[in-house]
A and B are shown apart, each in its own frame.
Chain A
């Protein structure tokens, strides 16, 4: 069965510092992996997705993620945090042939001045 684990339900960084949000997955087949961002009381917005074309995936707002098959990881990074990055971030894996997503529990990112 496929699953997603996000390490750290809350992450706090200073403005300008590196952002690292961790995601590990389990999948019996090559996965499709996604990172979404959610601002309070809003829907989810796609940051980036991995579909096996390249292991380093660049997304919107300066975020990127690297697919590491040996570590079954898909960590999200941003070199320099901005106050506007404060939100909740979800990692997800596509399950089976019907595009059903399994989501991690989410990581809430706080950015301090």
Chain B
């Protein structure tokens, strides 16, 4: 089955630690995205990548970093510089990066800071 996988489903982080969230897709999509979801705020774009080895900051990139070394993988690192990282993180992909291309979402990772 084609789709997007995210791991782990739940992640706990101590203050001061960096953690990396995994996102893998086997849909052969060029574009990938990371969103953060907080209650009552909808989804906000953290980073996006239209093609391998290229990515751009979204609306709330501070305290996060990404890489795109392979077409199917787009990991997100939440660094200690992110002051309020507790949230639900969603990865998405689309066949291309142009307007109107449907974004397909993974099941999400819930990150909690202890």
Contacts and interface: CB of A to CB of B under 8 A. Distances in A.
B85 interface: no
B43 A97 contact: no
Contacts of B92: 44
Interface string A78-104: 000000000000100011111111011
Interface in B81-100: 88, 90, 92, 94, 96-100
B106 A94 contact: no
B105 A49 contact: no
Interface residues of B, number: 32
A87 B92 CA distance: 20
Contact of A43 (B42, B48, B98, B105): B105
Interface in B33-56: 33, 40-45, 48, 50, 56
Interface residues of A, number: 25
A99 B103 CA distance: 9
Interface of B: 4, 6, 31, 33, 40-45, 48, 50, 56, 58, 88, 90, 92, 94, 96-108, 110
Given A41-B88, A97-B99, 12 more contacts: A41-B108, A41-B110, A43-B4, A44-B43, A44-B90, A44-B105, A46-B104, A98-B50, A99-B98, A99-B103, A103-B42, A105-B41
